[in-house]
Amino acid sequence: MAPPRTMTSKNTLNPLAAMIFGGTVALPAVAESFDEGVVFNDAFLPEDSRHLDLSRYEKGNPVLPGGYRADLALNGRLVGRRDIRIADGRDGGNAHVCFDRALLELLGVDLGKLPTEIGSDACQRLPDLIDGASVTFDPSQQRLDVSLPQASLRSNARGYVSPELWDRGVTAGILGYDFNGNRNRTDSGSFDSAYLGLSAGFNLGDWRLRHNGSLSWHQRNGRDYQSLDVYAQRDVTALKSQLTLGEANTRGELFDSQAYRGVQLASDDRMQPESRRGYAPVIRGIARTSARVSVRQNGNLLYETTVAPGAFVIDDLYPSGYGGDLDVTVHEADGSEQGFQVPYASVSQLLRPGTTRYSFVAGETRNHYIDEQANLFQGTVQRGLGNSLTGYGGVQGSDDYQAVMAGAAFGTPIGALAVDLTRSRAALSHGRQSGESLRLSYNKNILATGSNFALAAYRFSSEEYLGLDDALRIIDAQRRGLDDSLIGRPRSRLSLTANQSLGDYGQLALTGFSQNYWNLPGSDLQYQIGYSRQFGSITFGANANRTRMGSGSMQNSLLFSIGMPLAFGSQRPQLSARLARDARGDYSEQAALSGSAGEDRQYRYGLTVGHEGGNDALSTSLSGQYIGSSAIVGTTLSQGQGYRSQSLNLSGSAVVHPGGVTLTPYRGDTLAVLGAEGAAGARVVGYPGLALDGRGYAVLPYLRPYELNEVAIDPNGTPLDLELQETSQQVAPRAGAVVLLRYAALDGQALLLRATQEDGRPLPFGASVTDPSGATVGMMGQGSQLYARVKADTRRLEIAWGERPDQRCSLDLDSGAEADAVCRTSAPNLETDGDRLP
């Protein structure tokens, strides 16, 4: 293995000299800017090492000029991975890293503060541009560390990742599947059925082709395939948006979601820095001195920073759920403090000041309830106008329907409120009709009492108001001569969600929904109240539900449940029981045992026994699941009065990439393919049971697009003759990308021996060790110890500590196992010894 070398811009003695002087063993380091040169006095060396040639270190360890692929770290924080260029030093000096305009922008340097204009093909030394800057390059770790004063950097929001680091990935194919097969036997007959859900994709360049569909088969009804969507999509980086072509769905933020066939251009909040997504208020204040500002919510510290004297602005708070008022404290340098409170409540329509969210769709509808589809156009826009005000609006239209919406969202001390008005117009068979709809949304989170209250209410002003779906169905029914009176025209709709913490006494939750119609009798009503509490490791829950549809009767149901572990440890089985009462007044009881087993909890099991009070029937169910490295397999067997059934479930994905085909038990859209040649069995950190397959590949799902994701592998489980030269990488994939991450691995046997010269003297410390191909595989350590990793067919190693013939010798690795090895200057048949590490 080549010894790690580093290159630094600071004019200090390199660590190799310190190792020699101190007599310690360490990895050599190198300096970037030893242009003046440093002459080492060999009088400080032990007498038997004075023939070691130190001239090659007079201007730092040489790093060959050329291109390198390196991890880039700024002030100790990894910011990505990119290509860098090493250039020859001036006047024979040490090589240095080239900094051009693109690399400086990637680091976030404020180019306006530089003393000179930097071009795209420049090759500047960073310390020549910025006082106090330093650069360290470690080619063995392929890492470039850059240290910059904060004053030289642009002000970027927390979590900012430069678009230059967004990785579009490689050409790849994805096939995700979810299969479920059932066999049922009853007293009246038997039937089989099966379902296969598919999610397929193909990535080429910046484009991503996606298709989602399902194939269902029933013994009596045959098979049916349903296509959910098929579209091509790509990023539009300059607009922080996604362009979608094909069959997809609108986002449903202001108008109800619509399935369409056409084109959509919509902003993508994921392209914003993590701290600029969603809504959080901007905090403004004034500091008298250089002060520390802390922001707390319900006593928890959310943010802290140091500000200069004068006005300050904090605009990169991370969103925190529905909010909760913020307590801001300014800690002045003289010890005094000033504090104030910022109201924080959010609804989905609220945006940060200056933030815009938009979408535009053009095409035709894909409505399964109508025979003839209609043209569709829709545009929406939201804009954060102030710290507590967001304006929004939109238009929606088809052949015989138009709607326009305008509204605003407010953040107030008493909660967040959004109100909008929509006016629609539809051309029906009996003429045009128009109406208005008023919508109100409200949310309040009271941290002091642990209360959250959310309300959304719609009231339609007249029977003439129609939403797009209802209008299309009525127009289609009239065109076909059908009765449209059974298509409900909502009059008012109300939904409510409330949660209340009771501290040590549990949690209370309430949800409700109500809707009535202009042209139909009765109303839809549903509400549920639930209570839960934990007693140590025992959990208890109670739920009451009431439902009525239209003019039907009220349906009431109750459910009580309790759960507890049966043992201690991470894999302890869980015992649960429940008692339910249905709308008919019949009771049912159920007891279940569930748990997991295996080193990675890859085995799951469950046993359920139930009793139905209505027909006094017993039922049992037994289930098992295995989460393998290639797929998830599960089965269920159940039996009750008059029936018996079996089911089989299989799910996972197959990814086709430049290295072949790799199977994974997970399904995802933004993926990483990890590749390490020869490292079969290495575990993927954070995913129990996921390991590199026999070809050295694994698929990691659920990467966060446009953010830096750390992807690490654990070498435990790899062959003993393999050494991973890197185990962790960071990547910021674009949405839907399949990124290929290759981990360098050195395949060879580990060699540990003590080698001496022919006269018995130790070999000089720091002497280089190379294999027959000339590749450096190690260096001599203290006490003439040698550690190297060599290929299995390596028979000889060369050791050199100078240019003269008497400063070179050879080690023969074929001569058996003795206590010591002798490095000889001649003769092919040498007596040496090597203790190979197992």
End position of a domain, from candidates 116, 134, 154: 154
Rounded distance, CA 706 to CA 670, Å?
10
Last-in-domain residue among 290, 307, 342: 342
CA–CA dist 63, 86 (Å, integer): 8
Q: What is the mean pLDDT of residues 324-328?
A: 80
Which range has highest mean pLDDT (263-267, 440-444, 740-744)? 263-267
> CB of 705 within 8 A of CB of 741?
no
Residue 833's pLDDT is: 39
List the structure tokens of 72.
């880039």
Give pLDDT, residue 835: 40
Count of structural domains within the chain: 3
What confidence category does residue 635 fall into, taking pLDDT thresholds of 50, 70 and 90? very high
Number of residues assigned to the chain: 838
Is residue 799 within 8 A of residue 784, CB to CB? The reply is no
Q: Identity (one letter) of the amino acid at 126?
A: L
The answer as to whether 217 is a domain residue is no
Residue 587 token pair: 């009771």
Residue 142 pLDDT exceeds 90? no
Amino acid letter, 179: F
Q: What is the mean pLDDT of the chain?
A: 82
Report residue 310 as tokens: 């004068």
Closest among 659, 811, 801 to 738, alpha carbons compared: 659
pLDDT at residue 629 is higher than 80: yes
Higher pLDDT, 341 or 212: 212
Residue 59 within a domain:
yes
Assess if residue 370 is contained within a domain.
Answer: no
Distance of alpha carbon 642 from alpha carbon 186, whole angstroms? 5
806 within domain boundaries: yes
pLDDT at 39: 66
Give phi and psi for 425, each to the nearest 5. Answer: -145, 130
Identify the pLDDT of residue 49: 59
Q: Is residue 217 scored above 80 in pLDDT?
A: yes
Give domain status of residue 325, yes or no: yes
Phi, psi of 758 (to 5 degrees): -60, -30
Q: Which residue has the higher pLDDT, 625 or 139?
A: 625
pLDDT score, position 575? 92
CATH number of residue 123's parent domain: 3.10.20.410
Residue 537 in domain: no
Most confident of 286-300, 359-373, 543-557: 359-373
* Secondary structure element (H or E) that encloses residue 18, with its range: helix 15-22
In this predicted structure, what is the pLDDT of residue 767?
85
Q: What is the pLDDT of residues 273-316, one digit of tens each?
A: 888 887 788 888 888 777 888 888 867 788 888 777 777 878 77
Does residue 355 lie in a domain region? no
Q: Tokens for 662, please give them.
A: 């790799």
pLDDT in tens, 641-666: 888 899 999 999 999 999 999 999 99
pLDDT for position 28: 33
Tens digits of residue pLDDT in 193-208: 899 999 999 999 999 9
Please give the pLDDT value at position 838.
36
Task: Establish if 295 belongs to a structural domain.
Answer: yes
* CA separation, residue 799 to residues 37, 42, 765, 777 (Å): 26, 20, 11, 10
CA 181/CA 553 separation, integer angstroms? 37
- Strand 310-314 versus strand 671-675 pairing type: unpaired
**Phi and psi at residue 239, to the nearest 5°:** -100, 0
How many Å separate Cα 226 from the centre of its chain?
30
Q: What is the mean pLDDT of residues 430-438?
A: 90
What span, in angstroms and rounded, lies between the C-alpha atoms of 87 and 135? 14
Which residue range forms the structural domain that includes residue 21? 7-154
pLDDT band at 451 (very low <50, low <70, confident <90, very high): confident
Number of neighbours of residue 128 by Cβ within 10 angstroms = 14
pLDDT tens-place string over residues 691-727: 899 899 999 999 999 998 989 998 887 877 788 878 8
pLDDT of residue 26: 28
pTM of the entire structure? Answer: 0.77
Q: How confident is the model at residue 25 (pLDDT cuts 50, 70, 90)?
A: very low
- Among residues 367, 444, 446, 433, which one has the least CA distance to residue 402? 433
What letter represents residue 532's amino acid?
Answer: S
Q: Residue 455: pLDDT band by 50, 70, 90 thresholds?
A: confident
> What's the CATH number where 770 sits?
2.60.40.2070
Structure-block tokens of residue 490: 């909502």
Residue ending a domain, among 154, 183, 203, is 154
Contacts of 787 (CB under 8 A, 6+ apart): 750, 751, 752, 778, 781
pLDDT reported for residue 177: 94
**Pick from 235, 219, 443: nearest CA to 323:** 443
Least confident of 69-83, 566-580, 794-808, 809-823: 809-823
Q: Residue 34: what pLDDT?
A: 40
The pair of structure tokens assigned to 186 is: 């009853």
Region of 614 (left: φ > 0; alpha: ψ -120 to 50; beta: rest) is: alpha
* Average pLDDT of the segment spanning 5-32: 34
pLDDT value at residue 450: 78
Q: For residues 468 and 51, which has the higher predicted lDDT (pLDDT)?
A: 468
CATH number, domain with residue 312: 2.60.40.3110
In this predicted structure, the answer to whether residue 599 has a pLDDT above a threshold of 50 is yes
